[in-house]
Amino acid sequence: MAEPTAPNSVLQTYRRLMGYALPHWPRYLLAMFGMAIYAFTQASFASLMKPLLDQGILLHDPVTMRRLPLLVVGLFLLRGTADFLAAYNISWVGRSIIKRLRQET
């Protein structure tokens, strides 16, 4: 069984690995922005369901029946773009760190 590592060695390892990630902070920030937009669209989709059901289906409001489906499609386009932005950039950062680690050994 492996012995537990000392807190200092864990902290040293964490600092060393953060040193590899630090040069890529703009891509990491872009990934975080994409994640925030994705979370916003998730909440927005839930909030669009109430007017769609109340005004569109129950009251048969023609303006709502035309407008809300376009908003839902636009929201999903934004959501897909944000998801791609987040996944691509966070993967790019990870691959760049792995590439640098492999070059050092």
pLDDT computed for residue 59 by the predictor: 75
Each residue's pLDDT tens digit, 65-93? 888 889 889 999 999 999 999 999 999 99
**Encoding tokens for residue 42?**
């998730």
Q: Are 42 and 79 in contact (CB under 8 A)?
A: yes
Each residue's pLDDT tens digit, 11-62? 998 898 889 999 999 999 999 999 999 999 999 988 888 877 777 777 777 8
The alpha carbon of residue 76 and the mean position of all alpha carbons in its chain are separated, in whole angstroms, by: 14
